[in-house]
Structure 1
Amino acid sequence: MDGAKADGWMQIGPRADIPEWNNKGRVSAPLGEGEEREVDIWAISCFFLRSSARRKGLSHVLVAGGIDFARQNGARLLEACPITRSNDKRSIGLFVGSTRVFEKAGFQAVAERKAGRPLMRFTL
């Protein structure tokens, strides 16, 4: 925090609460039939970090906190659909997070429907 302003935030919750994640053809589409309705499958769908807070490890802190939060609230699986790399120096596209951050947290790639956009899972 910088005074009264948060340095960043992350959206996390049951996959069922993120309808756009469940559309067929999306890189984040469910792997199995009916998974879009399972309340114990959660997703980290996006991040926002103020520019002054970037490159300081905040994404790692948010993901670690998200894992704990999901575990405490009954999640069985936690998913993310990050971007492997961005060629844009302004990090356009990294609102979904970096694959490297999720790998370091213990997530495993389970599908890659579009190059550079794996669907990753963490078992709680």
Structure 2
Amino acid sequence: MGDKGGCGGCWCRLWRVSRKQHDADKGDGNRDAMRALFDRGHVPGLIAWDGDTPFGWISVDRRSAFPRLAGSRILKAVDDRPVWSVSCFLVKPAYRRRGLSADLLRHACGFAKARGADILEGYPVDPGKKYPAVYGWTGFMGAYRAAGFTEVARRSETRPIMRKVLD
């Protein structure tokens, strides 16, 4: 996730903790908290490698691991089905625009399925025009479509909820 942990010291904890906690932990605190998940044996996502070089990350976990989603007017639960969620992506700039986000999503599907998930859900942006990649940390709708996801809800013009049933 680089020296700063993705988007401004988030370390993919935005949806995992309260806004107050996230902001208080920004930077090193969020990094240490995410590392603690790994240290406890919990795997909160996947890292993509090119040989010895990490180039991508996708955060995938049970939706219940992301309590802030429930409080979101736009991303609240669609129904009461148990789903897993993709909360964020990170692909290094030199590796972008190669379809690697869709590849990460496909691997996330296998990862979630192996852990008992039947449905994987994501919250991409659908900007309708050129959009800075740095703000696309939840992924882009095209990558989700390419990985076989379908839109199941849209409470915002630019933020669909997409799902894939894991066979």
The normalised TM-score by structure 2 is 0.64
2:65 matched residue in structure 1: 17
The count of corresponding residues between Structure 1 and Structure 2 is 118
- The one-letter code sitting in structure 1 at the alignment partner of 2:97 is R
User: 2:112 matched to 1:70?
Assistant: yes
Picking from 103, 118, 121, the partner of 1:79 is 121
**Structure 1: distance between partners of 2:54 and 2:128:** 25
Distance 2:99 2:57 in 1: 13
- 2:125/2:139 contact within 8 Å kept: yes
| Unpaired stretches in structure 2, ≥5 consecutive residues | 1-48
SS across alignment from 1:106: coil
Return the alpha-carbon distance in structure 2 between the equivalents of residues 104 and 116 of structure 1.
18
Q: Which amino acid aligns with 2:132?
A: R
User: 1:28 is matched with which residue?
Assistant: 75
Q: CA offset at residue 10 of structure 1? A: 0.4
- The answer to whether structure 1 residue 104 and structure 2 residue 146 are counterparts is yes
How many Å apart are 1:64 and its aligned residue?
0.7
Q: Give the root-mean-square deviation of aligned CA atoms.
A: 1.9
- The equivalent residue for 2:164 is 122
Distance (Å, rounded) in 2 between the aligned partners of 1:89 and 1:52 = 17
In the TM superposition, structure 1's runs of 4+ consecutive aligned residues that sit over 4 Å from their partners are 86-89
Match for residue 56 of structure 1? 98
| Residue 44 of structure 1 pairs with residue 44 of structure 2 | no
Structure showing greater relative contact order (alpha-carbon pairs closer than 8 Å, 6 or more residues apart): 1
CA apart distance, 1:20 = 1.4
TM-score w.r.t. length of structure 1: 0.84
Identity %: 30
**CA distance in structure 1 between the aligned counterparts of 2:151 and 2:131, rounded to whole angstroms:** 25
1:45·1:96 contact (CA, 8 Å) conserved in 2?
Answer: yes
Cα shift at 1:76? 1.4
1:120 positional shift: 0.7
Deviation (angstroms), 1:53:
1.3
> Tell me, what secondary structure is at the counterpart of 1:44?
strand
Structure 1 residue runs without a partner (length 5+):
none
